[in-house]
Amino acid sequence: CVGNFRLGTAYAKKGEHKAARQALTRAVETDERCARIQEAWEARANASMKLGSKEDARSDLAKCVELGAGTPSGSRCEKQLKLIGPSEASPPEAPPPSTPPTATSSAPSP
């Protein structure tokens, strides 16, 4: 995990975000007990954002927070998650209920 994490962050520093995401994917899939796993989720979210994949980034940030919101990495992930906003896949908010038009008395004149 740590080797792939380091490789992924090195690719990210070089601006090679696709290669970074691939290495970081290997890092997060290797072992959930890895010492740098939370940082790997955070770094993969950043690579996903650079690649324009907001939904993947949101999912990675949520996993990062799930692993521990109280850690420095978890805190950063939580802040980024709030900045990204709600999922585009979630249903749009329902518009406020409209009030039916009131009947006005407009009787025809004789």
SS3 content of the chain, % helix, strand, coil (to 5): 60, 0, 40
The low-confidence residues of the chain, meaning pLDDT below 50, are: none
Give per-residue pLDDT as tens, 68-91.
Answer: 989 999 999 999 999 988 876 555
Class (C level, CATH) for 2-84: mainly alpha
Task: Report how far residue 72's alpha carbon sits from residue 92's, in angstroms, rounded to the nearest whole number.
Answer: 32
To the question of pTM greater than 0.85 for the whole model, the response is: no
Going from N- to C-terminal start, the domains of the chain cover 2-84
pLDDT score, position 103 = 55
